[in-house]
Structure 1
């Protein structure tokens, strides 16, 4: 019965070969051994993926989280947790800064500043930035200013952002296009188009040529202010003659 069922299967060629081997005699031991895999199971590495799949998860985090944590040392992580713990108590916070923050190496101190900016702990980030500026190894760095100003602007703390802006300019450091864009966006979101225009005028006078994105942000944010928008649009068309400034329909904002 088994031979009859096998002969009716969808693989007639294999069935015929199997039947011929049965008629010739018993299956030899060598033929059975030939069916064994060439690589023994004990030699397989279970950590190597098979057909694109891992056999098990080893518990380590994957992706950017794991890479980001490796860039921050244990001392820096301890300081970040301590700063966040005492941020509502100024006296304890200052003691913690003197006892732990000042002991950090240069790279760890910068890592603390960067992580606080990423977590939007801008008040603590400003305090760490002031500590960094007092270190002997510190030299004026536009990128330290840039990251902190952008973090403050995104948190709508424009007064603190402008204090750093003025300090940066006193050190003869010029912001880049991204910094101009985020500060202009921050003032527009804060409902201060006049302050946004002041930053715009500073951008026009910058030694670096302006880029297109800050103009786009202003043209969109100044729709309720046609006089200011027309000035920006005129400058945009002169600097980027091949680009087109979009004007919304008149029934939405009237004639611009």
Structure 2
């Protein structure tokens, strides 16, 4: 009867030995409990009774279980699950030919333009993640020529941030101007990264231009871009005082730490 019970449960071959052991134990308990309900000649033996509701609930839940078959549950590197084989081939081809402009452009015309919308966007995102900002710009220009393309601030934002992190501020400003021509405003994170990039690049005047553009944004300002500017403009007290005045007007409850005047060379 135990073997018949096991066969009725139809446990997959890959089930663990622990589950199989527990199942056999329950089957034996049920069998012994059913026998114990009949009149017994053993005096003093205590019958072992198993709750039938618990047994039915256990067997029904066991039948619904889906056991792991040993295959990998998912990809080992982030983003691969959303990238098809053609997109992976394109990414590898772009990185292999990035130093040869002629072959790179030919590869883009023959392979990139054939990608579907989701694959093309996945290639763009993966290149940004791998900090291949120059290649990402080329893919973005291809996307802009597609019929399905619509101005999207998030596509601009991620690409501009990737360029700013790579200190390619000239390319970042070209995209910034293109974005503004399409009447798109980035969020606070984009402003912060571009301002930080210009300050690292040694261009405080360009950082101030982005700051002035940020003040025209319809979204309410946040503290982080202001504090990045206040810290980066320490060698430029006149520009810093201008930002400080705006900060105190917009955030009257916040405090700005002022360094001693000796740092500004006023004494």
Range into which the TM-score falls when normalised by the shorter chain: 0.7 to 0.9
1: CA distance, partners of 2:82 / 2:150: 22
* Structure 1 position 116 matched with structure 2 position 127: yes
Who is 1:241 aligned against?
A: 252
Who is 1:225 aligned against?
A: 236
Who is 2:11 aligned against?
A: none
**What is the CA distance between 1:72 and its match in structure 2?**
1.4
**What is the CA distance between 1:251 and its match in structure 2?**
4.2
Who is 1:96 aligned against?
A: 107
What are the residue-to-residue correspondences of 1:154-165 with 2, within 5 Å?
154-165=165-176
What are the residue-to-residue correspondences of 1:76-87 with 2, within 5 Å?
76-87=87-98
**What is the CA distance between 1:248 and its match in structure 2?**
2.0
2: CA distance, partners of 1:42 / 1:198: 67
What are the residue-to-residue correspondences of 1:46-57 with 2, within 5 Å?
none
**What is the CA distance between 1:43 and its match in structure 2?**
1.5
Q: TM-score, normalised by structure 1?
A: 0.74
Gaps of 5+ in 2: 1-15, 23-69
* Structure 1 position 43 matched with structure 2 position 54: no
Distance 1:61 1:40, change over 3 A: closer
* Structure 1 position 130 matched with structure 2 position 176: no
> More deviation in 69-78 or 144-153?
69-78
**What is the CA distance between 1:249 and its match in structure 2?**
3.2
Q: Aligned to 1:210, which of 206, 209, 221?
A: 221
2: CA distance, partners of 1:151 / 1:61: 31
1:111-145 per-residue CA deviation (whole Å, 9 max, x = no partner) reads: 00011111111111111000000001111111111
Who is 2:40 aligned against?
A: none
Cα RMSD, aligned residues only: 2.3
**What is the CA distance between 1:77 and its match in structure 2?**
0.8
Q: TM-score, normalised by structure 2?
A: 0.71
**What is the CA distance between 1:40 and its match in structure 2?**
6.4
* Structure 1 position 152 matched with structure 2 position 163: yes
* Structure 1 position 193 matched with structure 2 position 204: yes
1:9-40 per-residue CA deviation (whole Å, 9 max, x = no partner) reads: xxxxxxxxxxxxxxxxxxxxxxxxxxxxxx96
Gaps of 5+ in 1: 1-38, 46-57
Who is 2:47 aligned against?
A: none
**What is the CA distance between 1:198 and its match in structure 2?**
0.9
